[in-house]
Amino acid sequence: MRNISIFFLLLSFLVACGCSKEKVPAVVGNWELSDIIYTKAAQIGTCPVDVSLTFRKDGSFEMKQIVGEGLPKTYAGTWAIAGDILSGTYDDGSAWGASYSYSVEGDILTLVPLNVPAPETYLYTRLSD
């Protein structure tokens, strides 16, 4: 009887340890554009740009964008990660204009578009998970 009790205790311990949480990609959460670093001569003009991004665990995203005093535009779709490359598709089926090399350090998400001559670097600050 004692061996059976030890066996079930050991089995329950192994089952509890074997259940690991699925790793959540670091981009999941709410982000707000905090800076753009230009590596080429580019002129946006005098209009401020306000962009917020939400990456969800289910692979969906939502982006809200306001340029100057204009009305907000909302874009949605799906995102995916392969290595350190972030890419996505809008709800209408069109691909993002570029895929991005990404990194997350603390509360800063850095996105650099790939296959774009002299790309800008976009910095986003985490608002929440």
Question: Which amino acid is located at 108 in the chain?
Answer: I
Domains in the chain, ordered, with CATH? 23-128 (2.40.128.20)
Question: What pTM did the predictor assign?
Answer: 0.71
pLDDT band, very low/low/confident/very high, at 126 (cuts 50, 70, 90): very high
Q: Does 91 have pLDDT greater than 80?
A: yes
Instruction: Calculate the average pLDDT of the chain.
Output: 78
pLDDT of residue 21: 56
| Whole-number Å distance between alpha carbons of 81 and 61 | 13
Q: Which residues pair with 122 in a beta bridge?
A: 36, 111
Contact by Cβ (8 Å): 61, 51:
no
User: 89 φ, ψ to 5°?
Assistant: -135, 135
Residue 104 · residue 121 · CB < 8 Å = no
Partnered with residue 127 across adjacent β-strands are none
Question: Of 28-32, 58-62, 85-89, 94-98, which range is least confident?
Answer: 28-32
